[in-house]
Amino acid sequence: MTDVTRRQLLGGTLAAAAAAPALAQNAAAPPAPDLKGRSILITGTSSGFGNLAALLFARSGAKVFATMRHLPRPEAEALQKVARDERLDLTVLELDVTKPDEVARAVRAAERLAGGGLDVVVNNAGIGLSGPVELQDEQAMAEMFDTNLHGPHRVARAALPGMRSKKGGLLIQVSSQLGRVMVPNLGAYSATKFALEALSEQMAYELAPRGIEVCIIQPGGYPTEIWASGARRTRDLLARTEDSRKAGYPELMVNAVRTGGGSTDPLDVPRAMAEVIAMAPGTRPLRRAVHPGPRPQEAINRVSAEVQRQLLGRGPFAPWAEAVLG
Annotated catalytic residues are 46, 175, 189, 193
Rounded to whole angstroms, how far apart are CA atoms 15 and 92?
Answer: 15
Q: Is 291 helix (H, G, I), strand (E, B) or coil?
A: coil
| Type of residue numbered 193 | K
Q: Give the chain's count of helices (H) and strands (E).
A: 14, 7
Residue 188 buriedness (CB in 10 A; 0-12 / 13-18 / 19+)? buried
Sheet containing strand 212-219, strands side by side: 90-94, 63-68, 39-42, 120-123, 169-174, 212-219, 287-290
CB atoms within 10 A of CB 79: 27
216-234 burial: b if 16+ Cβ within 10 Å, else e: bbbbbbbbbbbbebbbebb
